[in-house]
Chains A and B, each alone.
Chain A
Amino acid sequence: MTRAGARNLLLHGAVLVLLFALNFVLPEYHRGILSRVMVLAVFAMGYNLAFGYTGLLSLGHAMFFAAGLYGAGLTIYHLGWSVWPAFGAGLLAGGVVAAAIGFLALRTTGVAFMIVTLMFAQVFYLGTLYFTTYTRGEEGLILPQASRKLELPGAELILTDPAVRYMTALTLFAAVLVGIFLLVRSSFGRALVAIRENEERMRMLGYDVFANKLLAMIVSGVICAAAGAAYAVLFGYVGSGFAAIQYSILPLLWVLLGGAATTLGPLIGTLFMFYVIDIASGLTRAHLLVVGIALILVVLYFPKGIAGTIRERWLRWLQ
């Protein structure tokens, strides 16, 4: 491995160790926030694969998150499935939705792609409202406490316990971070970046651009669905709000804020936004105004996002 590779490995390892250690020192309130942030950072990492690395500006990723959320939530709530198969159902739902939407939407590019993904996500959102008998729409479903248990060989993890929840969120986050870390260094990951930079060139270098983009969409969709499914079982609530447009915009903001096409950007962006909202809503009822101003400032002074700017100005090796 190159020196840059070794530094990146060290940095990412250090971040994971730090997150692990925080479980033991953070006050309960902040540990709760960080659990949520790690799960949503997985959502952001999935989005980053499509948007940051492949250059697919989707405005419909809420549907992949929600596919995971409902795939897990509905099977637990209505069919009484345990967490493992329900989680699997969430991933499958995300993969299937991403494959279908990708197959259709990837025939377009640019603004048309944004609009098509937005429309599909809107259809998905309306679907969750339409089937309100099963989903209870906006009001949503509360998963029974007793169902939120993770069977492991020789142990049973009670996911409602804050420490278990934190560690489970961290495990998922770590797995996806390692996966993305390896993926973006692989020839597939490099091909995605090259497609983002110059699609026609890649086609004339013998790459099936459509197939590569579709695969990127599916992997992205499955990662987002993993976040959604984890959210359902860890926090026990499944509602239409997560399929709404807001949850398509949020991962875009997190990734822009943290740094598109950086491996740690999604975590940084999600964490940053959460605390800006948290602090702002403690100060004023117009907290969304503060968030908006914070975003404008970041985009003005850190156009490549936090990690992207750090990479550009100081740490050229940052992955």
Chain B
Amino acid sequence: MAAMMPLLSTKGLSCAFGGLRAVDGVDFALPCGEIRAIIGPNGAGKTTFVNLVCGRIPASSGKVFFEGRDISRLPAHQRVRAGIAYTFQITSIFPGLTVLDNVAPAAQRPSARQVAASGSSRERALHALEEVGLGQYAHQQAGHLSYGHQRLLEVAMGLALRPRLLILDEPTQGLSDGEIENFIALVREIGRKATVLLIEHNMDVVMALSDRITVMERGRVLAEGNPEEIRADQAVQRAYLGA
């Protein structure tokens, strides 16, 4: 039955800010190996939902399961150690440190899952930087990188954790068209090794990458399906695609 078990699932996951139900009873399942996109209008609760998944904010009610284990009560850092990596919607790096030192903490943290990983932590950090194409900037100060490169640096931090699930929150926001092209190729590559949960507004990126799409609106799941189904869905078009 292990093959049937989703990597990540949630049951009735909810989060209220005051009276606002930002996430409202979400049941969600993500099979291993998939690239899943979450789309939805601004304020739909996408960021809040993944924050609940990775434990950055506490849920009002509901449960989160990862690899079949109930992780609802685990603090965020332990969820990361369990294999969930999160990149912030608002770029969050160590601007005063070098690019390499930004990735080093992710690469050096000893965890059960990394025992098998090869090379020194420095090599792993460099490798993660090369994967996203930042190898040549390793010794520059991270705060001096261009915005697009800082977003890539975030992804490199996520990769250096060698996660089972990589959550990307609007990674292409503010990138140029050329950068977006490269980014699509990068996520495809990542998708070979990890399950990817991608929050994205750019529909070209969503259609190019995702195996399946979950649409959120006002804290709820409005629809779910493969890209063709979502494109054809009337409710989605009304709520989101603006047609």
- Interface of A toward B, CB cutoff 8 Å: 187, 190-191, 193-194, 197-198, 200-209
Contacts and interface: CB of A to CB of B under 8 A. Distances in A.
Contacts of B105: 190-191, 194, 202, 205, 207
A205 B78 CA distance: 10
**Which among B77, B92, B108 has the highest number of chain A CB atoms within 10 Å?**
B77
A106 B165 CA distance: 31
A52 B54 CA distance: 30
Contact of A208 (B77, B93, B108): B77
B76 A204 contact: yes
Closest 9 CB pairs of A and B: A206-B80, A197-B94, A206-B81, A205-B106, A201-B92, A194-B105, A187-B108, A206-B77, A204-B86
Interface in B94-119: 94-97, 101, 104-106, 108-109, 111
A209 B104 CA distance: 16
Contacts of A198: 92-94
Given A204-B86, A204-B88, A207-B105, A194 B161 contact: no
Interface residues of B, number: 27
B92 A206 contact: no
Contacts of B96: 197
B236 interface: no
A312 to B, nearest CB: 12
A201 B94 contact: yes
A275 to B, nearest CB: 32
Contacts of A193: 97
A128 to B, nearest CB: 38
B56 interface: yes
Contacts of B81: 206
Contacts of B75: 208
Nearest to A206: B80
A230 B95 CA distance: 39
Contacts of B121: 187
B157 interface: yes
B97 A197 contact: yes
Contacts of A205: 80, 105-106, 109, 157, 161
**Which among A198, A202, A205 has the highest number of chain B CB atoms within 10 Å?**
A205
15 contacts: A187-B121, A191-B105, A194-B97, A194-B101, A197-B96, A197-B97, A198-B94, A201-B92, A202-B105, A203-B56, A203-B77, A204-B76, A204-B88, A205-B161, A206-B78
A316 to B, nearest CB: 11
